[in-house]
Amino acid sequence: MRVIVCGAGQVGFSIASYLSRENNDVTIIDSDPETIADVNTHLDVNSVLGSASNPEVLSNAGASDADMIIAVTNTDEVNMVACQVAHSLFNVPKKVARIRQTDFRNTKWSNLFSRAHMPIDVIVSPEAEVAKSVAMRLAVPGTTNVVPLAGKKAYLCGVICEENCPVINTPLKQLSTLFPDVKVKILTIIRHGKPFIPSPDDQMLMWDEVFFLVEESQIQRSLSIFGHEEHKARNVVIVGGGKIGQALLDEILENQSDVQLKIIESSSETALALSEKYEDILVLEADGLDSQVMDEANISQVETLIAVTNNDEANILMSMMALQEGCERVIPLVNKAGYNTLTGSLGLGSVISPRSITVSSIMRHVRRGRVKAVHDVANHFAEVLEMEVSQSSSILNTPIQDAKFPHGVIVAAIVRDEEVLIPKGETIMRADDLAIILSIADHVGMVEKMFSAQVDLF
**Residue 115 has what pLDDT?**
67
For residue 285, tell me if it sits in a domain.
yes
CATH code, domain carrying 367: 3.30.70.1450
Could you tell me what percentage of the chain is helix, strand and coil, using 3-state DSSP and rounding each to the nearest 5?
Answer: 35, 25, 40
Amino acid at residue number 175: L
State how many domains the chain has: 3
Half-sphere exposure of 376 (CA within 13 A, CB side): 22
Three-class SS of residue 248? helix
Q: Identify the DSSP state of 230.
A: P
Residue 453 has pLDDT above 70, yes or no: no
Q: Cα separation of 69 and 82, whole Å?
A: 8
**Residue 267 has what pLDDT?**
94
Where does a domain end: 332, 357, 382?
357
**Residue 457 has what pLDDT?**
45
Per DSSP, the residues of 16-44 read HHHHHHTT-EEEEEES-HHHHHHHHHH-S
Residue 158 has pLDDT above 60, yes or no: yes
345, 413: one domain: no
Per DSSP, the residues of 188-200 read EEEETTEEEPPPT
For residue 230, tell me if it sits in a domain.
no
Q: Cα separation of 256 and 154, whole Å?
A: 21
For residue 305, tell me if it sits in a domain.
yes
Structure confidence at residue 234 as a pLDDT band (50, 70, 90): confident
Tell which residue, 19, 241, 246, 219, has the closest CA to residue 139.
219
347, 376: one domain: no
232-to-142, 244, 443 alpha-carbon distances in Å: 9, 22, 37
For residue 145, tell me if it sits in a domain.
no
Residue 380 has pLDDT above 90, yes or no: no
Question: Region 197-218: what's the mean pLDDT?
Answer: 94
Tell me the pLDDT tens digit for each residue of 331-371. Answer: 999 887 666 655 555 667 678 888 888 888 888 777 655 67
pTM of the model: 0.83
Q: Are 139 and 256 in contact (CB under 8 A)?
A: yes
Q: Domain range spanning residue 292?
A: 235-357
376-to-158, 282, 305, 356, 438 alpha-carbon distances in Å: 12, 36, 25, 8, 10
For residue 222, tell me if it sits in a domain.
no
257, 371: one domain: no
344, 432: one domain: no
Mean pLDDT of the chain: 89
- What share of the chain in percent tops pLDDT 90? 57
332, 365: one domain: no
Residue 130 has pLDDT above 60, yes or no: yes
65, 102: one domain: yes
Give one word for 52, left, alpha or beta, with left for phi > 0 and alpha for psi -120 to 50. Answer: alpha
Residue 458 has pLDDT above 70, yes or no: no
For residue 323, tell me if it sits in a domain.
yes
Amino acid at residue number 348: L
Q: Cα separation of 305 and 332, whole Å?
A: 8
Report how far Cα 99 is from the mean position of its chain's Cα atoms: 17
Q: Cα separation of 51 and 5, whole Å?
A: 12
284, 390: one domain: no
435, 411: one domain: yes
Residue 114 has pLDDT above 80, yes or no: no
14, 103: one domain: yes
For residue 226, tell me if it sits in a domain.
no
Where does a domain end: 68, 93, 124?
124
Q: Cα separation of 310 and 172, whole Å?
A: 40
Q: Are 15 and 362 in contact (CB under 8 A)?
A: yes
Question: Region 193-218: what's the mean pLDDT?
Answer: 93
Structure confidence at residue 54 as a pLDDT band (50, 70, 90): very high
Query: At a CB cut-off of 8 Å and minimum separation 6, what does 135 contact?
Result: 248, 251, 252, 255, 256
264, 345: one domain: yes
For residue 107, tell me if it sits in a domain.
yes
Q: Are 344 and 122 in contact (CB under 8 A)?
A: no
Tell me the pLDDT tens digit for each residue of 24-44. Answer: 899 999 999 999 999 999 999
List 386's β-bridge partners, or say none: 373, 436
Q: Are 412 and 185 in contact (CB under 8 A)?
A: yes
Tell which residue, 198, 230, 214, has the closest CA to residue 147.
214
Question: Region 287-308: what's the mean pLDDT?
Answer: 89
Where does a domain end: 342, 357, 372?
357
**Residue 57 has what pLDDT?**
97
442, 393: one domain: yes
Q: Cα separation of 354 and 307, whole Å?
A: 13
40, 65: one domain: yes
**Residue 336 has what pLDDT?**
78
Q: Cα separation of 141 and 42, whole Å?
A: 38
CATH code, domain carrying 61: 3.40.50.720
For the chain, the first-to-last Cα distance in angstroms comes to 10
